[in-house]
Every structure is written in C-alpha cells, then in structure tokens.
Amino acid sequence: MNRPSPAAGRRFVAACFKRVESLAQFPRQGRMTPEAQREDIRELIVEDHCLIYWTDGERVRVLAVSRMLVILPTFQKIRMAALPPKIIHPGGPPNSNAGLDKP
C-alpha cells in the first residue's frame, strides 16, 4: 500500500474546503444519507471520501469525512434490497406454455 504524500493530502483538504464553501450558496446540494434517512443530514462525494454534513437550510456543519470503502457495504445492502425479489421471464416462467402460439 502506498503512503499518501503530504501534497496529495493538501490537495484533498483543499477539495474538501472547496465543496464545503459551495454549501454556502446551495446547502441542500448533497443527497440525503441513506443511513440517517433525515432531510437535514446530507453527503457530498470528495474524491474517494464521503463528506457528511448537517444543514437547516441556512447553516452547515460538517459531521464526518469518511472513506467510501467504509460506506460501500451499507450501500450494497440498500442496493440489493431495492432489487426485485425474482426474475420475471418474458412470456411466462421457464418450462411453461405461456406466451407461445400453441392452442
């Protein structure tokens, strides 16, 4: 594993500050976090990190900055829960005559 360089760290912090500064004009630009399920807890993506923040529409407070690798397993569970429970085959289930032109 490569150690991050100080220059890369400075670039990342600058990117975080730039995104946070944009919240002054558009405090609800981030999406609601699926884990919190609250309108006032939102997140922005900065490189491979998730910047989680609170807003009341006027004020903004950064709550956490977390690597996406930590969040992805939760996201995967949510994504899997949203999938349909079974595959629907066109013309009916396999091995049936549904959808065939036979009487």
Residue pLDDT, tens place only, 38-92: 999 999 999 889 999 999 988 999 999 988 764 445 555 555 555 444 444 445 4
Residue 72 to residues 34, 64, 76: CA-CA distances in angstroms?
11, 16, 6
Domain ranges of the chain: 26-82
Please tell me the pTM assigned to this model.
0.61
